[in-house]
Chain A
Amino acid sequence: DIVMTQTPLSLSVTPGQPASISCKSSQSLLHSDGKTYLYWYLQKPGQSPQLLIYEVSSRFSGVPDRFSGSGSGTDFTLKISRVEAEDVGVYYCMQGIHLPPTFGQGTKVEIK
């Protein structure tokens, strides 16, 4: 199985400041169709996960533009340009190119 490794595992951010989460995969996520199947999800406290970013950098419907994704191959990053209180929770990356889909360990983001 592809191993997804996130860093850091926890992050404490002052509101209005940027935040960045790294996700590295043990194999390339670039498919022969030219797409890279890397997703980002946020699980807010007490809620189910919600999709933020798909295929590395495309924001899902309704996701604020302060969230952005980048990367290629095996190295990926989720950035929040200005963290807001509602952004607290656990962020997961997931690869969708090889079965089974696998998730990173999660990065817990809290507000200072």
Chain B
Amino acid sequence: EVQLVESGGGLVQPGGSLRLSCSASGFTFSSYAMHWVRQAPGKGLEYVSAISSNGGSTYYADSVKGRFTISRDNSKNTLYLQMSSLRAEDTAVYYCVKGVAAAGTGIDYWGQGTLVTVSS
């Protein structure tokens, strides 16, 4: 059974930093691209970032480019999202999502999400 468990969310002040982690199990983590998708309270889904299976290729939405960094440790089956210069508009539930292939944008399994609140 595919399991994705996010952690690291919480309350942070504007301009602050936070690192999200996603622990994966139930599939060969190193064979799949991984993604982050977020959902602001009461809103729809927004694609944030992606990383290829070997970490060699990354993508960022314009809204987070230059502030967020995605990475992965295939030896630990863990995905990360380092977030800095956080803004109020970054407040959302952040979902770790498994890709359907080593690269590309198709996504299938979602974690339960971790809430990030940016507020003073």
A contact residues vs B (CB 8 Å cutoff): 37, 39, 41, 47-51, 54, 60, 92, 94, 96-97, 99-106
Contacts and interface: CB of A to CB of B under 8 A. Distances in A.
A49 B112 CA distance: 9
Contact of B106 (A39, A100, A102, A104): A39
Given A48-B111, A100-B61, A106 B105 contact: no
B89 interface: no
Contacts, number: 49
A41 B100 CA distance: 14
Nearest to A106: B44
A60 B108 contact: yes
Interface of B: 44-47, 59, 61-62, 95, 100, 104-113
A102 B92 CA distance: 17
A103 B45 contact: yes
A48 B95 CA distance: 8
Contacts of A100: 47, 59, 61-62
Given A92-B44, A103-B44, A37 B61 contact: no
A101 B105 contact: yes
A106 B107 CA distance: 17
A94 B46 CA distance: 10
Given A49-B45, A92-B45, A100-B62, 13 more contacts: A39-B106, A39-B107, A48-B110, A49-B95, A49-B110, A51-B108, A51-B109, A54-B108, A92-B44, A96-B105, A99-B105, A103-B45, A104-B44
15 contacts: A39-B106, A41-B45, A48-B110, A48-B113, A49-B45, A49-B95, A51-B108, A92-B44, A94-B45, A99-B59, A100-B59, A101-B47, A103-B44, A103-B45, A105-B44
